[in-house]
Structure 1
Amino acid sequence: MTRDVRIADPAETLQEAARAMAELDAGFLPVGEGDRLIGVITDRDIVIRGVANGRASDTTVREVMSPDVRYCYADDSCVDILYNMADLQVRRLPVVDRDKRLVGIVSITDLATNGESSLAGEALTQIARPSEYHSQSV
């Protein structure tokens, strides 16, 4: 899990979020307001909901973020997290403590390189299957 997480502000522009992703070499930022996690923004959100819809680089993160935050708990087992990722068809999840405070981000790569490579491969197969969760329609 990555513990030092950059949190996007919902008032940030898409350009600022994209620049942060480029600097971090990441395609995902949690979005927070105060001490609350209110969404996530991905490079895909910027492209599909932003650019493909003709939105300018000064569009706010709030306008294109995914507000339906899926997460896992810090004390969840790796197996449970991988099954959750497969069910949700996501490659990364915010990690929260039991008070629902963000403590990090876990990716399928984190899990695969830490002893769960076989199960991570099975999860990735489910993540990659076509579904309505990841529609390309604009």
Structure 2
Amino acid sequence: MEDIQKICDTIEERILKLHCTDWLYRIGDEAGELDDMWKISACIMCQILRSGKTEVDCKKRDTLIENVKSKLQFHKPAEKCNICGEVINFSSAKQDSCGNGHKFARCCQSLLLVQETPYRKCQNCRALAIALPDTAPECIKKMLVSTCTFCAGVVV
């Protein structure tokens, strides 16, 4: 049973890294024009790509990350708890919490914390997704109407 769980975890990690790679390639040249919320999302994805073992060619991965980060001009991304204002550091693709114990799910598409309503849900695995903001750049809007990163289900 443990072997099956390890295989599932490995597959989930690979899918997440592919999603992050795709997301970063898509925002590419527009990265510098993103507002702070989307810059945080891009930085989280860079962090995920750099973590653990990766199937992505390291040189290509590092080039992609450096290209995006140079355009972001945003070095210390920090999400803050909407309840108490504490900084929430990224530690999990699915959920995180602040030092005071307030837990939030992460968006199954942008990996940002889902701290506001309304939000959307994956019809399959019930993962949460942030609502599609009117102010989001077109490159982001296109990505937020896609499927769930965790299970490929439809997000509504």
> TM-score, length-normalised on structure 2?
0.27
Higher strand share: 1
State TM-score, norm by structure 1.
0.30
